[in-house]
Amino acid sequence: MNTMSLDRSLENLFKPDELTTVVCTKAFKKGDPLVLSEPATGLTPKAPNDLYLVKLNVGPGNPGPAGAPSTSPGIGIEIWLPSPENWNERIHNIGGRGGFDGGTQGSPREIGWVYAALTAGTEGAVSASTDSGHAPIDGSWAMNPDGTLARQLWIDYAHRAMHEMAVKTKAVATAYYGRPPKYSYYEGVSTGGRHGYRLAQQYPADYDGIIANLPALNWAEWVTAAVFRSLVIERDLGGVPLTTGQMDLVSNAAIHAGDVVGGEHLGYIMDNAACHYDPAQDPNVLCGKEGGKNDTPDCVTRQQANAINKMWYGMTSDGSVPSPEIDNGVQAMLKGKRRWYGLTRGTSLYNAYFSKLGFASSARGGYIADQVALELQNPTLAEPTFKNASGNGEALWRALSYEQLSNAFDRGVALDPVFGYLASDDADLCAFKARGGKFLSWHGWNDEAIPVQGTIQYYDRVIEKMGGLADVQSFFKLYLVPGGGHMSPHGTSNPDASPPAVAPGQFYKLLVEWVERGIEPGRVEIESPSAAPVRITQPICPYPQKATYMGGDPRVTTSYGCS
């Protein structure tokens, strides 16, 4: 179909509602740089095949003064259409880019999340992405200039943008090809993972299959708990961060204490629940003046060791932490003073706090402190990147007490309706199951940003709500990946580790087979990435099963069963 006939199809067959406008359209030939009006560079991706781009805006948005982060015309959506001869009659939409999302999908001059274009060009599926209703990637969009919360933008970010993307993608595809898609799929990670869960909960008819990995469920809880990890440095260590060497020394010691399988050290922990390592009792990491044996610059004091125990255990209302021998923080129980989960032992604290991977799951940079500022409606608590007419970020979160942070945690939970029910934790998936939807999800045990226990807790609640494990696994399966990180090669502190990882496209292939051919996934074989120093193959098993060593070489998948 040429450009002129597509324009006629859009005019005659794609009937936008009163809130939807076509921002622009553009045809790309195979090899064209994926840009609109901005200049291409040597790093600009190129179209893998002939594509047609349709950019939409879906209002009402949020009115306000020009230049204010909360001023938005609405939800920007980019829809990428393969040529008719290349279309495989599927939709494969892509979730948000992480954190507070944001982007330029609604801009007539820029292209937003280019991954959707690459998906459409390589697979032959229609693919779309959205900016979730705002451009800024920090939290400044969520507060109006007068300090009130931008309710419509919260709703758009929490769920509406993803639903509108599904509806509009189907409508535009039908107009372009003259027939509707046979199958519609969604795939997202982190914030996009949370969106996938929300789609199954609230919009069960949008997709035939959903992949939602590393999901940012219980948003206010886990983000506020990430601030707790940074507050430990402020309250317990006088604001002096641990060095990279100290963090890696202790984390690698934890790995060495818990990574033995079949008498060999794997370099990453297979069974995090069994690891109760306590650096405060380890002379090999404690400084000599603390009674330890380590006299290197990377040694830690007992106070620093206990601070790391707090980060591993998770947020408490008063900053306390039990002995790791009694409770190592892995179990998904929240009771007493414990508010939320921490990072599991062996996870790279460096990447969690001073990330070289493009995110930072701490209040020291990134968007994490912004959430507390929004919960307490006090912009000065945010980092300086947060700009608002009612006040700018001044990093005053650093002066909070543990009790005040716990109050912010409660306030965030109470404000969930204002935040568009951002927690996305409704365990009732009956409607999605009833219409035949299939759902796959995986989460890494060494996620540097979002503690895996929150996902486990949600899945346990779904089992309880929906009549037991067998009923749930007939349409929804969760996999837990030892060593798996947050959109990183692996999440451990060990540079020589090579834990097996889910390969790109592996879960999508499994989902398509499940939806279109009824082949239900069970044990899934994964292997170390090709660039890893040592190649390891192992299975991941549908939760609550896990890979269990049976004997033989612990680096070979045939040595494991699922139990």
Number of residues assigned to the chain: 563
Per-state percent for the chain, helix, strand, coil, to nearest 5: 35, 15, 50
Asked if pLDDT for residue 355 goes beyond 80, the answer is no
Rounded to 5 degrees, what angle do the CA atoms 157, 159, 164 make?
A: 100
Asked if pLDDT for residue 2 goes beyond 50, the answer is no
Q: What is the mean pLDDT of residues 371-384?
A: 94
Mind listing the pLDDT tens digit for each residue in 408-422? 999 999 999 999 999
| Nearest alpha carbon to residue 224 among 425, 422, 410 | 410
pLDDT score recorded for residue 354:
59
pLDDT score recorded for residue 15:
76
| Nearest alpha carbon to residue 184 among 163, 158, 214, 159 | 163
Q: Which two tokens stand for residue 60?
A: 């009402």
pLDDT score recorded for residue 356:
41
**CA 440 centroid distance within chain:** 14
Coil/strand/helix, residue 129: strand
List all residues 6 or more positions away from 493 whose beta carbon is below 8 Å from its beta carbon.
247, 248, 251, 252, 255, 346, 347, 348, 349, 350
DSSP for 282-319?
Answer: -TTTBBGGGT-SB-STT-B-HHHHHHHHHHHH--BSSS
CA atoms within 13 A on the CB side of 65: 8
Q: What percent of the chain is modeled with pLDDT above 90? A: 89
Q: Torsion over CA of 350, 230, 342 and 448, rounded to 10 degrees?
A: -30
Asked if pLDDT for residue 59 goes beyond 50, the answer is yes
Asked if pLDDT for residue 444 goes beyond 50, the answer is yes
DSSP for 489-517?
Answer: S--BS-TT----BPPTTHHHHHHHHHHHH
Mind listing the pLDDT tens digit for each residue in 524-551? 999 999 777 889 999 999 999 999 999 9
Asked if pLDDT for residue 155 goes beyond 80, the answer is yes
Q: What is the mean pLDDT of residues 184-212?
A: 98
Measured between alpha carbons, how far is 253 from 275 in angstroms, rounded to an integer? Answer: 11
Residue 158 DSSP one-character state? I
pLDDT score recorded for residue 366:
64
pLDDT score recorded for residue 8:
52
3 — pLDDT class (breaks 50, 70, 90): very low
Residue 552, Cβ density class (10 Å: 0-12 exposed, 13-18 middle, ≥19 buried) = exposed
Helices (H) and strands (E) in the chain, counts: 15, 15
Q: Which two tokens stand for residue 187?
A: 């795939």
Choice among 94-108, 344-358, 517-531, 543-557 with the minimum mean pLDDT: 344-358
* pTM of this structure: 0.96
pLDDT score recorded for residue 1:
38
Mind listing the pLDDT tens digit for each residue in 180-192? 999 999 999 999 9
| Nearest alpha carbon to residue 250 among 8, 494, 444 | 494
Coil/strand/helix, residue 172: helix
Domain borders along the chain are: 3-181, 221-414, 430-533
Measured between alpha carbons, how far is 77 from 22 in angstroms, rounded to an integer? Answer: 10
Q: What is the mean pLDDT of residues 226-233?
A: 94
Mind listing the pLDDT tens digit for each residue in 288-310? 999 999 999 999 999 999 999 99
* Mean pLDDT of the chain, nearest integer: 94
pLDDT score recorded for residue 348:
95
Asked if pLDDT for residue 357 goes beyond 70, the answer is no
User: Which residue has 């959109």 as its token pair?
Assistant: 487
Coil/strand/helix, residue 97: coil
